[in-house]
């Protein structure tokens, strides 16, 4: 009997504990129905670290105005994958902040809903950014900032902006011969290539990734990789590579390209607004101009990336999310705050006008992006990056452009068909 | 714990339950309480998802645990069950889940179920009716703010007339009983309770679901303060199990084998769903020449990499251990400390450092030795480089375990062999090494299994490079696991189903090799032990 008694006591205690736990779990729900006028709605916003911090005060303000709680969560890595997976499991946010080229993939996974902007709201946005977030004829996100590549040069070493790539190489070689620099051009390639940074040169030499249909949208059935124009373009890129001028090198990678520039070892850097912070920190005298194209070639077109706010399709509070994204994000104050968190040109014309006076680099980046084409947001673009980059790296290392691009095109079209 | 306590009590009936005797039951209450708490915590999402089988498993497992620890019987089970549960949750379940995934088309565009796809297609097709008005919206109800039927009070921006919209339709309100603010939103209306932001957002789902039918489409909310007249361009028709475009009349019929809606002309809607595809993922590994050829080459290199990293580090580690084992060696402590240094560094960071050291133009190795080797550019040099890095990172571990094992071998044995006239080499080969191997072989096997799937070693240094010009899918230094990762999460969109098939394949290879090796070890033990 003595052995039994503790067992019974234990059972009772455990039951009590269970009951305690379960009633604890019920509590918040009970309280919601008990106080109908309280702050019952909750809006969850996901963004990367910097944006999450900038959004916080505005999210709180939005919450107070609407009598809801707003939670801003920073997702530090693989935002797109995390978002899609979490949405699928029902643990995703209501609003997601991210790049516009995610749209195709997010739509095919049913992760985001289209947003309906008024004509007035649409007119307040930069047209190319609005075009970038349009997919299958629908606007899927509210854009707020753009980014594109430009040529950043060390004005001490290279006072004049080069008109063509040939000029740049000529001057770079001279600097190298005079031992003023050790590299001609800092354009990141890396062992596996970098399609994003290669794109301006690729377009200037006449290559293209996807053709466009009558409405100007990218056509997945017209793949430019492997076409004669693109092979010819890669022949020009090869001539700049390790077996040619030595301006493009696989040893210049995402890790060392900006550092090599800021340490004064090369006069020219092809990079985006994010590199400017480093250049300022290193106290380099710099200037920004468009990425030059080949002499006699087409203009060099960098990609235009657009940061946007999305309404999650599986969010728990969609009406509130739509309210935030379409009627609140389109206000200039928020756009300016996000600009201050990370200096990229705001899409909202009113916000851009506010900040351009204080930051001369901004206008130069916008000018460099005048020819920019929106990054293709079609899901098929995901299959291009890796094979294209690898073909680029092989060709810069001296491989035959035709063999490399034909293989890349075969891999890409094989993956598109699935 | 209880079992011990009970046995103690039983063996010494005279002992009074004192303070020490209470610790056990208290601990048990706490642990069982924790179990109950965890069960309740896990139950809520299961109930919300209506995952009844999962809930049943949870209930049975919890009840089983309670029964087991509240009864004095089944003492051995009390010790075995926690470990078994963890084994099931953290080992068996992931393996089974991966294996199950390998038989599906789980990938980007095929993540959810058919219902999800239909909803996504319909939602994505809602467009504004051209030329329609943009309404200012106020959400109101005729009853209780939390439960009453919802009404959209929409203000026409031109005429500023207010209409009340419900699922039944739109009805204009008499202007007398309505007050409208400057933005056009209704602040009060006779017979209606206007919901504030918090109240409205609590009923978010109902608000997004409410569509007020109109002649041209339906009035839907866009947030809480605006509404627009929209029209769904595509609708699901259960009769033909297809999606129909309301304007062009084109249909996409559900293809349950592909998990997608496919039109007669072969056009496929992007939003698909997850279906079983049988063995086709495994078939692709064998039959798709773009996959199978490189796969075999990768497998060979992967085996070589695992053998070379394990064998190389073992030989080097053992050599160092033997050298420092000799009593004639001076300053052994310092040497040992220095040797263990690489082991103390986080390999994650060291791999990145090594990657930069192998850089052709800026790397330390080329600069220091005055070389101009394109390390990661050539297949042979890249492979040598990654194995060198592995050697540097891995030998301290082998050194440590070999030192430990050497110290466990009685020195009398080698002394005896020396007296018998054996040379030091013979003594090592015939006496020390066999004894050492009995202790070290299991470690070598696990080290082999680890290196076989040493993702970091490749991903952080070469990322598979160099890639042959004609094949950007697998590179010269790719292991199966990095190749799988590229398939599953790489640039070309997630293909979880196919990646799971490759994972199953890797699992089988590692399991077979380990099983064979362990069997051989056992035989070895029988010989020497």
Burial of A160 (0-12, 13-18, 19+ CB in 10 A): exposed
Percent of chain A with pLDDT over 70: 90
Candidate from B37, B70, B225 with C-beta closest to A323 = B225
What is the pLDDT averaged over residues B155-175? 88
Query: Confidence class of residue B20 from pLDDT cuts 50, 70 and 90?
Result: low
Residue B445 belongs to what H/E stretch?
Answer: helix B433-452
Q: Which residues of chain A make contact with B70, given a CB cutoff of 8 A?
A: 7, 10-11, 14
Question: What would the mean pLDDT of B333-356 be, rounded to a whole number?
Answer: 88
Rounded Cα distance, B360 and B465, in Å: 14
Residue-level pLDDT at A4: 42
Residue B464 touches partner A, C-beta closer than 8 Å: yes
Alpha carbons A413 and A393: distance in angstroms, whole number:
20
Stretch A386-407: mean pLDDT, rounded?
Answer: 94
Partnered with residue A218 across adjacent β-strands are A212
Query: Bridge partners of B397?
Result: none
Whether residues B197 and A67 touch (CB distance < 8 A) is answered with yes
| Average pLDDT of the residues of chain B | 87
Residues whose CB is less than 8 angstroms from the CB of residue B149 and which lie 6 or more positions away in sequence, other chains included? B141, B142, B143, B166
Q: How close is the nearest chain A Cα to the Cα of B436, in Å? A: 42
Confidence (pLDDT) at A6: 43
Best mutation target, B198, B355, B365, to test chain A (most A CBs within 10 A): B198
pLDDT above 90 covers a percentage of chain A that reads 67
Q: How confident is the model at residue B491 (pLDDT cuts 50, 70, 90)?
A: low
Of A192, A383, A399, the CB nearest to B493: A383
Indicate yes or no: CB of B201 within 8 angstroms of CB of A317: yes
What is the pLDDT averaged over residues B498-512?
A: 89
By C-alpha distance, which of B39, B88, B395, B107 is closest to B277?
B107
B363 vs B14, higher pLDDT: B363
Specify the pairing of strand B126-128 against strand B226-232.
antiparallel
Interface probe, candidates A63, A79, A92, A109, chain B, greatest B C-beta count within 10 A: A109
With vertex at residue A98, the alpha carbon angle to CA A96 and CA A103, rounded to the nearest 5 degrees, is 90
Residues of B in contact with A403 (CB under 8 A): 469-470
- What is chain A's mean pLDDT, rounded? 87
Any idea which of A20-29, A171-180, B356-365, B497-506 has the lowest mean pLDDT?
Answer: A20-29
Asked, as a colleague might, if the bond just before B466 is cis with ω within 30 of 0, I would say yes
Closest in B49, B126, B356 to A114, CB measured: B126
* Percentage, residues of chain B above pLDDT 70: 94
Q: Which residues of A167-189 are buried (b: 16+ CB within 10 A; e: fewer)?
A: ebbebbeebbeeebbebbbbbbb
Please report the DSSP string for B376-434 in residue order.
GGSHHHHHHHHHHHHHHHHHHHHHHHHHHHHHHS-HHHHHHHHHTT--HHHHIIIIIHH
Q: Is B367 on the interface with A (CB under 8 A)?
A: no
pLDDT in the model for residue B252: 94
Chain B residues whose beta carbon lies within 8 Å of the beta carbon of residue A11: 66, 70
**Could you tell me the CA-to-CA distances from B525 to A323, B446, B522 in Å, in that order?**
71, 17, 5
**Are residues A18 and B204, on separate chains, in Cβ contact within 8 Å?**
no
Whether the predicted pLDDT of A2 surpasses 50: no
Please tell me the pTM assigned to this model.
0.83
Which has the minimum average pLDDT: A245-259, B130-144, B384-398?
B130-144
Cα B227 to Cα B133: distance, rounded to the nearest angstrom: 9
A308/A140 Cα distance (integer angstroms): 9
Span B417-428, average pLDDT = 86
B40 with A21: Cβ contact below 8 A = yes
Residue B3 has pLDDT above 70, yes or no: no
> Is the predicted pLDDT of residue B425 greater than 90, yes or no?
no
pLDDT grade, residue A320 (50/70/90)? Answer: very high
Kindly report which listed range (B132-136, B245-249, B291-295, B313-317) carries the lowest average pLDDT score. B291-295
**A410 chain-B contacts, CB cut-off 8 A:** 290
Instruction: For residue A282, give how far its alpha carbon lies from the nearest alpha carbon of chain B (Å).
Output: 19
A160-167 average pLDDT score: 96
Average pLDDT on A328-349 reads 88
CB contact under 8 A, A36 and B199: yes
Q: What is the pLDDT of residue A217?
A: 84
ipTM associated with this complex: 0.80
Q: Is residue B173 within 8 Å of residue B164, measured between CB atoms?
A: yes
> By the 8 A CB rule, do B163 and B214 touch?
no
Query: Given pLDDT bands bounded at 50, 70 and 90, which one contains residue A38?
Result: very low
B22 touches A: beta carbon within 8 Å: no
pLDDT at A96: 96
CB contact under 8 A, B37 and A251: no
pLDDT(A11) > 50: no
Checking if the pLDDT of B293 tops 90, the result is no
pLDDT at B34: 93
Residue A47 or residue B291, greater confidence: A47
């Amino acid at each position: 009997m003595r052995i039994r008694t503790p067992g019974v006591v234990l059972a009772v205690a455990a039951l009590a504990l269970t009951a305690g736990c379960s009633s604890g779990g019920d509590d918040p729900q009970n309280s919601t129905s008990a106080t109908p006028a309280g702050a019952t709605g909750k809006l969850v916003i996901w963004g990367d670290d910097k944006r999450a911090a900038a959004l916080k005060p505005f999210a709180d303000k939005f919450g107070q105005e609407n009598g809801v709680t707003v939670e801003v969560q920073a997702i530090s890595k693989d935002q797109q994958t995390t978002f899609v997976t979490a949405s699928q499991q029902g643990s995703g946010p209501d609003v997601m902040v991210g790049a516009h080229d995610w749209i195709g993939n997010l739509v095919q996974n049913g992760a985001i809903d289209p947003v309906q902007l008024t004509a007035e709201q649409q007119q307040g946005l930069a047209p190319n950014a609005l075009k970038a977030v349009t997919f299958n004829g629908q606007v899927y996100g509210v854009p707020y900032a753009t980014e594109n590549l430009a040529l950043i040069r060390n004005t001490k070493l290279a006072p004049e902006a080069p008109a063509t790539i040939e000029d740049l190489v000529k001057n770079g070689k001279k600097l190298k011969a005079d031992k003023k620099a050790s590299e001609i051009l800092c354009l990141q390639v890396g062992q596996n290539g970098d399609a994003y940074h290669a794109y301006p040169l690729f377009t200037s030499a006449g290559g293209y990734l996807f053709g466009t249909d009558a409405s100007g949208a990218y056509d997945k059935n017209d793949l430019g990789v492997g076409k004669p124009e693109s092979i010819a373009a890669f022949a020009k890129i090869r001539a700049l590579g390790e077996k040619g001028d030595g301006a493009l090198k696989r040893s210049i990678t995402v890790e060392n390209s900006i550092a090599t520039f800021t340490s004064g070892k090369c006069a020219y850097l092809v990079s985006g607004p994010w590199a400017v912070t480093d250049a300022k920190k290193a106290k380099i005298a710099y200037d920004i101009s468009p990425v030059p194209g080949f002499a006699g070639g087409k203009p060099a077109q960098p990609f235009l990336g657009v940061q946007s706010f999305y309404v999650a399709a599986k969010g728990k509070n969609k009406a509130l999310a739509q309210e935030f994204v379409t009627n609140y994000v389109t206000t200039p104050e928020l756009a300016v705050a996000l600009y201050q968190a990370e200096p990229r040109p705001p899409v909202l014309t009113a916000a851009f006008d506010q900040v351009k006076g204080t930051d001369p680099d901004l206008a130069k980046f916008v000018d460099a992006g005048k020819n920019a084409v929106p990054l293709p947001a079609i899901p098929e673009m995901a299959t291009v990056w890796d094979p294209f980059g690898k073909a680029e790296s092989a060709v810069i290392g001296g491989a035959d452009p035709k063999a490399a691009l034909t293989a890349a095109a075969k891999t890409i079209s094989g993956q598109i068909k699935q | 714990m209880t079992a011990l306590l009970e046995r103690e009590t039983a063996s010494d009936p005279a002992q009074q339950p004192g303070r020490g005797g209470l610790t056990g039951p208290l601990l048990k209450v706490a642990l069982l309480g924790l179990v109950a708490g965890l069960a309740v915590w896990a139950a809520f999402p299961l109930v919300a998802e209506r995952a009844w089988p999962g809930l049943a498993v949870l209930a049975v497992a919890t009840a089983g645990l309670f029964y087991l620890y509240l009864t004095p019987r089944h003492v051995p089970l009390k010790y075995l069950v926690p470990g078994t549960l963890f084994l099931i949750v953290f080992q068996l379940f992931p393996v089974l889940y991966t294996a199950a995934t390998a038989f599906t088309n789980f990938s980007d565009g095929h993540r959810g179920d058919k219902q999800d796809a239909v909803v996504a297609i319909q939602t994505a097709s809602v467009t504004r009716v051209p030329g329609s008005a943009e309404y200012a919206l106020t959400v109101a109800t005729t009853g209780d703010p939390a439960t009453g039927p919802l009404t959209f009070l929409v203000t026409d921006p031109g005429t500023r007339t207010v209409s009340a919209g419900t699922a039944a339709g739109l009805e204009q309100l008499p202007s007398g009983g309505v007050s409208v603010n400057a933005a056009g939103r209704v602040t009060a209306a006779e017979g209606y309770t206007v919901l504030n932001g918090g109240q409205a957002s609590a009923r978010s789902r109902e608000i997004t679901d409410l569509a007020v039918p109109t002649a041209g489409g339906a009035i839907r909310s866009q947030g809480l303060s605006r509404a627009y007249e929209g029209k769904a361009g595509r609708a699901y028709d259960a009769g033909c199990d297809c999606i129909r475009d309301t304007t062009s009349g084109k249909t996409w019929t559900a293809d349950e084998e592909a998990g997608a809606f496919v039109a007669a002309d072969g056009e496929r809607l992007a939003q698909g769903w997850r279906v079983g595809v049988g063995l086709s993922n495994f078939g692709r590994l064998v039959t798709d020449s773009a996959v199978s050829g490189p796969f075999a080459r990768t497998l060979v290199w992967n085996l070589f990499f695992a053998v070379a990293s394990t064998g190389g580090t073992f030989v080097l580690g053992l050599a160092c251990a033997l050298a420092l084992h000799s009593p004639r060696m001076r300053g052994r402590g310092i040497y040992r400390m220095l040797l263990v240094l690489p082991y103390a560094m986080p390999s994650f960071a060291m791999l990145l450092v090594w990657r930069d050291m192998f850089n052709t133009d800026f790397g330390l190795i080329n600069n220091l030795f005055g070389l101009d080797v394109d390390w990661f550019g050539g297949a042979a040099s890249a492979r040598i480089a990654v194995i060198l890095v592995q050697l540097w990172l891995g030998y301290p571990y082998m050194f440590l375990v070999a030192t430990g094992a050497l110290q466990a071998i009685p020195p009398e044995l080698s002394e005896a062999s020396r007296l018998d006239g054996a040379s030091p080499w013979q003594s090592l080969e015939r006496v020390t090494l066999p004894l050492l191997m009995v202790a070290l072989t299991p470690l070598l096997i696990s080290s082999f299994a680890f290196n076989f799937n040493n993702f970091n070693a490749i991903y952080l240094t070469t990322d598979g490079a160099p890639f042959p010009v004609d094949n950007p899918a697998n590179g010269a230094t790719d292991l199966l696991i990095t190749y799988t990762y590229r398939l599953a999460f790489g640039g070309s969109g997630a293909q979880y189903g196919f990646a799971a098939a490759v994972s199953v394949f890797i699992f089988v290879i590692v399991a077979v090799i380990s099983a064979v090796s362990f069997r051989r070890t056992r035989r070895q033990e029988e010989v020497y032990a």
